């Protein structure tokens, strides 16, 4: 029991800032979204807007929930509209990849019919 109290006190002392030290600013998330999409859930079309700092050499892919690629664009524009007439109802995952096939941004959306 004594070990518990000692470790608890040490934990508290370590967690509290020392006198004269300013509390640290919380770290910001370096990951910023490149793709904005709407509406979600979608019925007939879905819009994908890419931020201005994207690279035109990115490839954009959409996969169904089973992992099958159902849509792909090898050179993306600032705004892309995808017609969902050939898509079944369900959850889909999109990926934006750079020229080395690394995922730059990804997300999921739902198709309801």
What domains can you pick out in the chain, each with its CATH number? 26-111 (2.60.40.10)
CA angle 62/40/81 to nearest 5° reads 55
User: Is residue 35 within 8 Å of 50, Cβ to Cβ?
Assistant: yes
Query: How many CA atoms, within 13 angstroms, populate the side-chain half-sphere of residue 17?
Result: 7
pTM, whole model, 2 decimals? Answer: 0.70
Burial of 50 (0-12, 13-18, 19+ CB in 10 A): buried
pLDDT in tens, the chain (113 residues): 666 555 656 555 555 555 445 444 444 345 678 899 999 999 999 999 988 777 788 999 999 999 999 999 998 888 999 999 999 999 999 999 998 999 999 999 999 98
């Amino acid at each position: 029991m004594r070990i518990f109290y000692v470790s608890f006190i040490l934990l508290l002392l370590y967690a509290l800032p020392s006198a004269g030290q300013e509390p640290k600013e919380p770290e910001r998330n370096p990951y910023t979204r490149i793709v904005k999409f709407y509406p979600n859930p979608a019925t007939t079309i879905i819009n994908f807007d890419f931020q201005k700092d994207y690279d035109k050499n990115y490839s954009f892919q959409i996969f169904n929930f089973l992992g099958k690629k159902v849509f792909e664009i090898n050179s993306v524009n600032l705004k892309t509209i995808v017609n969902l007439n050939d898509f079944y109802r369900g959850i889909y995952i999109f990926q934006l990849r750079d020229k080395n096939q690394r995922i730059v941004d990804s997300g999921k959306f739902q198709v309801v019919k």
